[in-house]
Structure 1
């Protein structure tokens, strides 16, 4: 990972994946020590890449989009691009860290949806899958270190298996998403929504980028998720506002602009409607680490038109 920006600056540091020679792959695997200090960063930050962390030892907590999860190894954590996370009071962390860009994912579009599902909580206990997941990660680590013939294909295939095993262990019912057009389009739409600044774009611009009409986007996204594109966009705007209010010194006016509201007063009404709190009250509560149930950012909000 590259060097972070000074966490005292008003924006949230954004890390990009950098891998050493001889790999030159948009992928890396190692321990907390071999990946480096940023793998256990104690300040809120986000990535342009995916991260899967399998914690086998240590203490502290993982904080993902304001949701605080005490460590209870073995524990699996998935962070997707755009999410804000950090390690709180962590000490003695051991385990595996897997980093990869989207273009390293195997040709299994449902894997992206699975990763999004896994990232809705800051930590999972893998249960009966703990042994197979640990063995798979150890094998991936050897492939990455030793570079035998065909290691790129083995790593891609192993990543797919890792995602399926994680989903089997952690998702409700262990269900694996089915591959269909609606699910693939909804996954692509939610990926675009997840990046910083996405709330400033209208839904029609996403439809153009995805090569479908707004009406078709509406139909397929609702079919796959039970929610409308506009409802998902509102949820993402609220989540990004929470991230910025809790993790930066931006003014409410600046936060409003960042998430797509030209009128700060309208943003304040929107935020209160979505969260039950004013932006100022939310910032005060989040800064004070209050356990207000409205602080939790990852849980899905009720949908609307």
Structure 2
């Protein structure tokens, strides 16, 4: 299971993970739709289905044969229905420089069948090496991951730089998303973030609404409550400690906010997980 702000762990000892997207949605739609990040870089390969994905505060549509690379710590969330299929590749944490992975998110729409097959084969080769447990498997996986990194870079070279350069709205929304990702554990409000970015709360909210369809307060709340649900479902921390960890003034205030956001009390949510 992939965990927010931490490298995913499974029974396998490999530092790589190759998982079907359906695994991400176990436990509820919030696992994919709520704003969160991972502590390792990931590549999401959608092979069927369509919906919207929000990356660094900007929402775009995705469809079949879309590949999305997310550097570690990138806030994101995406719609996922029963008709959505694909794979997520999780790289080892801290491997970005060694593999020359992109520093910024990448969204590729692969229309040519040969490109679609090429990416699928590279992912299959990595997974096969990960699962067979052969000698020198880690070295082989790093080689396959290096080929993936080169493939992504080559596809980026084909794109017009102007197409991926964010406008003022995109830059501000991305800056806000990055700040929230760094500091959502604190008691900071939208007003605090807006002051740090040198804009008014109203302007920040208007920009976020334009970039991703939701106001700044909703992005912040979504990120905080994803982490709350993650801690409630994946740890045995007392609710009062979770409240404190997420910057709430009191457990009672945390309970009210959590119930307003999710429709359940923290204890009720934990019981059904």
Change in CA separation of 1:157 and 1:35 when aligned onto 2, cut-off 3 Å: farther
Instruction: Name the residue aligned to 1:163.
Output: 149
Q: Which residue of structure 1 aligns with residue 9 of structure 2?
A: 19
| Alpha-carbon contact 1:252-1:279 (below 8 Å) kept | yes
- 1:167 Cα deviation (Å)? 2.2
In the alignment, the residues of structure 2 paired with residue 124 and residue 83 of structure 1 have an alpha-carbon distance, to the nearest angstrom, of 20
Alignment match, 2:253: none
| Alignment equivalent of 1:255, drawn from 178, 181, 193 | 193
Structure 2 counterpart SS, 1:48: coil
Aligned match for 1:241, one of 168, 172, 176: 176
Change (3 A) 1:253 1:122: same
RMSD: 3.7
- The separation in 1 between residues aligned to 2:67 and 2:91, in whole angstroms, is 16
The superposition leaves residues 162-209 of structure 1 with CA deviations (integer Å, 9 ceiling, x where unpaired) of 11112222x13379xxxxxxxxxxxxxxxxxxxxxxxxxxxxxxxxxx
Aligned residues: 199
Q: By how many angstroms is 1:284 displaced?
A: 4.4
TM-score (norm. length: structure 2): 0.60
What runs of 5+ residues in structure 1 fail to find an aligned partner? 4-13, 176-234, 257-263, 272-277, 293-305
Query: How far does residue 66 in structure 1 lie from its aligned partner after superposition?
Result: 2.3
Q: Deviations over 1:39-66 (max 9, x none)?
A: 9611011122101011111121221112
Inter-partner Cα distance in structure 2 for 1:63 and 1:43: 10
Given that 2:46 and 2:84 are in contact with CA atoms closer than 8 Å, whether structure 1 keeps it comes out as: yes
Cα offset, 1:137, TM superposition = 0.9
TM-score scaled by length of structure 1: 0.54
State the match for 1:151 in structure 2.
137
Among candidates 157, 165, 169, match of residue 172 of structure 1: 157
> Any residues of structure 2 matched to 1:1-305 within 5 Å, and which?
1=1, 3=3, 14-23=4-13, 25-34=14-23, 37=26, 41-88=32-79, 90-104=81-95, 107-108=98-99, 111-112=100-101, 115-117=102-104, 119=105, 121-125=106-110, 127=112, 128-169=114-155, 171-173=156-158, 239-242=174-177, 250-255=188-193, 264=195, 267=196, 270-271=198-199, 278-284=200-206, 286-287=208-209, 289-290=212-213
When residues 37 and 141 of structure 1 are mapped into structure 2, their CA distance, relative to the original with a 3 A threshold, is same
